[in-house]
Structure 1
Amino acid sequence: MKFSKTIVAVAAILISVTSFAQSNDFKLGQNMEIQYSILKELSQSYVDTIEYGKIIPIGIKAMLQSLDPYTTYIPEEEGEDFEMMTTGAYGGIGSLIKKSPESGVQIIEPYPGSPAVKAGLVPGDVIIAIDGVSVYGETSAQSVDKMKGQPGTDVVFTVIRGRTLDTVDITVTRERIRVSDIAYAEIIRDSIGYIALTGFTQNMHVQFKESVLKLKEKGAKRLVIDLRGNGGGIMEEAISLMSLFVPEGTLVVSSKGREERMNQEYYTTTPPIDTLIPVLVMVDSGSASSSEIVAGAFQDLDRGAIAGRRTFGKGLIQSIKPTLYDGKVKITTGKYYTPSGRCVQAIDYSHRNEDGSVGNVPDSLKREFKTRNGRSVYDGGGITPDFITESRTFSRPAYSLVFNDILGDYAIEYFK
């Protein structure tokens, strides 16, 4: 009798799940038909001409944003910007610039060895036209789009020389520019090696490993990894970074999602370079995603100390899926968990308020976890540092110097 009841109960659950799936599929088809019928009526009856290339992407964007801010559609024309985000590389001239709508494009800092340097551009030079078209009235983004292009192609700049004020035409051959994630790596004092890391783009770990080895050659006995303001990037790069400091085969992060392939544990797979050097990881509210994977692993494994302010709290994983017409959709497909088993996601997008707003995970739902040495850590709100530092405040003149780039302007004038 018990066996029969169990079969009936299981059958009821399966029927319920199947019915739910069928109901969802029906609603999907129904709403797609409704959308098509509305667009058809608009095309036939709306008083003015409709640009479907504009209104439909708006609808797609709104639909995806209602899920979470990380699930987005990337059309073909934005593919180069997406590549820049993931690889740190783009086709261009290789220089930092400054631009306002009423001004030309000022060269601020050409990258060493870049096409800009090869063509003779220096800080203070001002581009007033690109391929014969004036840049006045353009936004910075519009001018940058013209400066970028396929490696090997030429772009002609009309330039006012900063030092002589001569107007000349300069042809620059674009190359593939790789922006390093290592903003700074040097010995600061008392044998302390310091590395400022700005992202986790493709092959970042190679640069990072080289930086660590060079610092050790210079006599570094301790290491500071600065992840403040680092919004993250590729998860595998975070795992590769951790592999430099923990034994091979150490669990760094795990993931869970609806698809079976998302239920994974990720271990280090390469020999470390130093498992004993003391490490301090600096974080703040701008440290997110892969930065939190690194900070959480150092903390949970008791391999290093964390200092600064609580991190952002992004514990979601995105996967890239191809779409028709060479587009892509970036979809949140899982959550990641630190070695102790905690998820650092701070905002609960799955439960929205009536007005559509979202809130942080309440303290009552946060759970306690233990590090390798038994220290208490908690989920649901980013990584809380072992040593919390106060936010620095500055005077109004100091803020003005930075916000208005007065120091940058002075540096250019000094260079001239």
Structure 2
Amino acid sequence: MLSILDPHSVYIERDDSERIQEEFAGKFQGIGIQFSIIQDTITVITAISGGPSDQLGIRSGDRIISINDSNAVGFTNEDVIRRLRGEKGTTVDVEILRPRSNTPVRFTIERDNIPITTIDTHYMLDERTGYIKVNRFAATTHEEFISSVRELKRMGMDRLMLDLRGNPGGYLSQAIAISEEFFPRNTKLVSTESRHIRFNQEMHSRRDGLLKDMPVIVLVNEGSASASEIVSGAIQDHDRGLVVGRRTFGKGLVQQQYELIDGSNIRVTISRYLTPSGRVIQKPFDSGSENYAFEIRHRSSDATMDAKEFKDQVPDSLHYATKAGRPIYGGGGIIPDFIIQEDTTSSPYLFNFMLVNRVDAQFVRSYLDENGERFRDRWKDDFQDFRNNFEWSDKDRALFLTLMKEHGMELTGDVDEPTIKNDTLKLSREMYNELVWMNLGRMKADLARQVWGNEYFYPVINDYFNESLSEAMKLWDEVEQLKLYAKQQAEKRSSR
């Protein structure tokens, strides 16, 4: 029945409803670990700080071999979640085998509320620039955001890089709350428009925002949708900062969820949202749900060409202007003020082969099993030193090469480019040497995650793979120019 409506009106099964509600509530009830299944064994990646497992001393590298006296080797991710999650106050018994130990350790863990953070990381890019990466908009996002901002301000931040790439959206209220922080009181942030008058709203900032005078750049891409487009749309429409990256997804519909008697839910579109200029962000969906979902795959791989092709087909009715008069367009996401191409100069075959076969997880785990104490003695107290100076040794690189070969990689002079056939990756030694830096960088980031925690993964990964971030950092003069231009245009309007 819902399939005849828009692509975002859906039926949600009971089990899925519970999981989704946990994600957007910003917490779940369990023992508080991030884990991975490595060689059929549940391996602790990190114990969530302050959670029940962390308080008992469970740490990265511990293998969970039994749960409630049942053998846990061979469990799937779903099996683990089903057995370790549970109501706050209940207990679960686990047996853990530690690296270089043959004697299991038994823990009785009392489940508790475990936060699900929506800020992946925040840190200083340089002496002036703070960086915040938001992965979705859930119930706690604004609270997390303010906490990150205040900490960065204490560290000297006077300009902000807000990363919304790959952020699919979430709660409208949280998008509004974060948008509000960038504007003075009574600034229009977003409006909603519906066939039913009760869903028509116009939202303005209720106070001066904490960041109302701070220069800002917002990073977006084709994975930025819905609430991400509300925030970036408000920034762009008011000429408040620069939106940088690639054209966003184009989801401008608002849903409301209704619970059914069996615990399942239906999520129904009730309105569409408009950015402050009146711009409609929603892309067309009259060609069916499948074409709608995969539309981003059909966009030109050249982000500049994609933007040009989109502008050329936008009807006059979807042409808008920012507050200062800059042209902007509706009907298919947000076109950034500055477009940055996706970096496709390096072949992804070696990197993807590692991820698919989980060689990275096996390698990092083996490395810490053998070198964990020495590593922590040398690096644990100075993450920045690790970030700047740690390198894999020749012995480490040789082990990685051995693991890749064990999983089906073959070095041969018979191919001109990397080739995959029957789960075997073939490439020359020269190609391997040219491409392996990506694998080593990813594993260094994984190592940081396991030793310091999830938020430390991103500074390292950004050091290796973030060409968009590097290019955006060159645009602060343009941010200042936009501010001056907007001020001049405002003065012209007031003098008329």
Please give the residue correspondences for 1:8-87 in structure 2 after superposition, counting only pairs within 5 Å: 63-87=1-25
Q: What is aligned with 1:414?
A: 367
CA distance in 2, matches of 1:414, 1:73: 45
CA gap of 1:133–1:74, structure 2 versus 1, over 3 A, is farther
C-alpha contact (below 8 Å) 2:161/2:218 kept by paired residues: yes
Q: What is aligned with 1:24?
A: none
TM-score between both structures, scaled by the size of structure 2 = 0.66
CA distance in 1, matches of 2:97, 2:5: 48
Q: What is aligned with 1:60?
A: none
1:324 counterpart SS class: coil
CA distance in 2, matches of 1:357, 1:200: 26
Return the letter of the residue paired with 2:65.
I
C-alpha contact (below 8 Å) 1:248/1:270 kept by paired residues: yes
Aligned with 1:371 (options 322, 346, 368) = 322
Please give the residue correspondences for 1:7-406 in structure 2 after superposition, counting only pairs within 5 Å: 63-99=1-37, 103-348=40-285, 351-352=286-287, 363-365=313-315, 367-393=318-344, 394-395=346-347, 396-406=349-359
Percent identity at matched positions?
A: 34
2:328 counterpart SS class: strand
CA distance in 2, matches of 1:72, 1:119: 42
Deviation at 1:412, TM superposition (A): 2.5
C-alpha contact (below 8 Å) 1:93/1:114 kept by paired residues: yes
Return the letter of the residue paired with 1:363.
Q
Stretches of structure 2 lacking an aligned partner (at least 5 in a row): 296-309, 370-496
Stretches of structure 1 lacking an aligned partner (at least 5 in a row): 1-62
Return the letter of the residue paired with 2:110.
T
CA distance in 1, matches of 2:69, 2:10: 36
Q: What is aligned with 2:437?
A: none
Deviation at 1:325, TM superposition (A): 3.0
1:81 counterpart SS class: helix
Return the letter of the residue paired with 1:90.
F
CA distance in 1, matches of 2:9, 2:73: 35
TM-score between both structures, scaled by the size of structure 1 = 0.78
Deviation at 1:240, TM superposition (A): 0.7
- Give aligned pairs, total: 350
Q: What is aligned with 2:429?
A: none
Please give the root-mean-square deviation of Cα atoms over the aligned residues, in Å: 2.3
CA gap of 1:248–1:415, structure 2 versus 1, over 3 A, is same
Deviation at 1:136, TM superposition (A): 4.1
2:149 counterpart SS class: helix
C-alpha contact (below 8 Å) 2:170/2:227 kept by paired residues: yes
Deviation at 1:358, TM superposition (A): 5.0
CA distance in 1, matches of 2:120, 2:291: 36
C-alpha contact (below 8 Å) 1:182/1:195 kept by paired residues: yes
